[in-house]
Amino acid sequence: MSRPVTLFTGQWADLPLATLAEKVAGWGFDGLELACWGDHFEVDKALEDDGYVTAKRELLESHGLSCVAISSHLVGQCECDPIDERHKSILPDRIWGDGDPEGVRQRAAQEMVDTARAAKLFGVDVVNGFTGSSVWSKLYFFPPTSQEDIDAGYLDFAARWTPIMEAFVEHGVRFGLEVHPTEIAYDIYTARRALEAIDNHPSFGFNFDPSHLVHQFVEPVAFIDEFADRIFHVHVKDVRVQLDGRSSILSSHLDFGDPRRGWDFVSPGRGDVEWDPLIRALNRAGYSGPLSIEWEDSGMDREWGAQEALELVRSIDFAPSASAFDAAFGDDE
C-alpha cells in the first residue's frame, strides 16, 4: 500500500535533525514524525521566528522527507500528572519554572495550545502525545480506592484538556493520545472512559501503538475495531512478553533491557505483536496516514534496528482487496 513509512524522532533527539534526516533518507524512509524536543521541532521558535518552520520544511524536503505529524509527549505528560522531580528532567526550564505543580501544569497547558498553533504553521494536522493522569498511580486499589476516587481523575482530565482541545479545533489540528500506562487511557476500557469524560470531543483521538497493549494482554486489533474513527496516527513498535515463572508482568522495578523483566520493548517484528491482523484492521478502519516507526530496543544497535524495521513495514503494508471474493467462482456465464 502507499501509506508513508516515517520514523518518530523522539529516541534520536541526541542527533541534530540535519544529521538524522540524512541518515533516515538514506535508509529509504518516506518521512519523519518530529519530536518537540531536541532541535527537531521547537514550538517556541516556530512561533517566534518567522523563518523557522520554512527552514525546517526545506531541510526535510532536501532529503525527500515528508512530515505530517509532530509529537509532544513530554509536555503533555505534565498536564494531569502529580508533578515530581522526574518531570523536571523532561521539561524545558521555561515550563518547569519554580516547579510548583499547579504552575507547571498550567504552563504545560499553554504549551500544548501553542503546539497546535505551531503545527498549523508547519502544515501538519496531527499532534501526538501523552496526557498524564492523576489516578494512574492508584491502579491497584489498596488502600481501598472507590470509583468516586477514579472518577475524580477523569474529571480532572476533562477539565484540563477540554480547553486545549477547543484550541486544537480552532486550528484544525487533532490530538492523538498514545494510549499507554501512566496515561489517562491505557487500554480499551480506559480509552472509552476518557472519551466519555471529554464528551467525545472531535479533536481527541488516538496515536495507536500496539506495544503498550500487548504486555497488558489487550488485543491490538480489538482496540482498532473499537475506535476505528479515532485512529489519528499509528506507531509501529513491538514488545515481547518474557515470562518464565520468576519474572513479573509488572516488571519488578527493573530497568528496560534487564532480562529479568516480565516484558520489554523490542525491534518491530521481534516481539509479540501480530502485524498481519493489525494491518487488516487498519485497512478496515480506512486509516491511510503514516506508519511511524517508534524504534526502541535496549538490546539492539538502533541503526541496524531502524533499517530492519523499515524492511518489515514495507513487507506487511498491503492494500486491501479491490473487490469481494464472492465473485470468485461465479464469473462463469
Selected binder of a second copy within 121, 138, 162, 169 (CB under 8 A):
138
Residues 222-251 that bind a second copy (CB under 8 A): 222, 225, 242-251
Contact between 28 and a second copy (CB under 8 A)? no
Residues 313-332 that bind a second copy (CB under 8 A): 315, 318-322, 324-332
Of the pair 98, 332, the CB lying nearest a second copy is at 332
Residue 140, class by beta-carbon neighbours within 10 Å (0-12 exposed, 13-18 middle, 19+ buried)? Answer: exposed
Point out which span in 23-31, 58-66, 158-166, 311-319 binds a second copy (CB under 8 A): 311-319
Q: How far is the CB of 166 from a second copy (least distance, A)?
A: 26
Point out which span in 26-34, 101-109, 121-129, 215-223 binds a second copy (CB under 8 A): 215-223
- Is there a contact between 115 and 78 (Cβ–Cβ < 8 Å)? no
Residues 85-124 that bind a second copy (CB under 8 A): 86-87, 89-93
Cα–Cα distance, 72 to 131 (Å, whole number) = 10
Q: Compose the 36-75 pattern: x for residues touching a second copy by CB under 8 A, - for all others.
A: -xx----------------------------------xx-
Contact between 150 and a second copy (CB under 8 A)? yes
Of the pair 171, 313, the CB lying nearest a second copy is at 313
Q: How far is the CB of 313 from a second copy (least distance, A)?
A: 14
Number of C-beta neighbours around residue 141 at 10 A:
11
Cα–Cα distance, 159 to 209 (Å, whole number) = 26
**Residue with cell string 492523538:** 176
Contact between 148 and a second copy (CB under 8 A)? no
Selected binder of a second copy within 104, 297, 310, 313 (CB under 8 A):
297
User: For residue 81, what is its C-alpha cell?
Assistant: 500528572
The alpha carbon torsion through 30, 34, 40, 42 (nearest 10 deg) reads 140
| Helix 101-122 / helix 73-80 crossing angle, nearest 10 deg | 140
Cβ density class 57-71: b for 16+ within 10 Å, e for less: beebeebebbbbbbb
Selected binder of a second copy within 32, 283, 290, 309 (CB under 8 A):
283
Of the pair 55, 319, the CB lying nearest a second copy is at 319
Contact between 181 and a second copy (CB under 8 A)? yes
Signed CA dihedral, 132, 8, 278, 232: sign only: positive
Point out which span in 19-27, 104-112, 114-122, 181-189 binds a second copy (CB under 8 A): 181-189
Selected binder of a second copy within 2, 98, 142, 229 (CB under 8 A):
142
Point out which span in 22-30, 47-55, 62-70, 213-221 binds a second copy (CB under 8 A): 213-221
How far is CA 3 from its chain centroid?
Answer: 17
Contact between 144 and a second copy (CB under 8 A)? yes
Cβ density class 149-186: b for 16+ within 10 Å, e for less: ebeebbebbbebbeebbebbeebebbbbbbbbeebbbb
Half-sphere exposure of 290 (CA within 13 A, CB side): 28
Cα–Cα distance, 149 to 120 (Å, whole number) = 37
Q: How far is the CB of 244 from a second copy (least distance, A)?
A: 5
Selected binder of a second copy within 218, 234, 239, 278 (CB under 8 A):
218
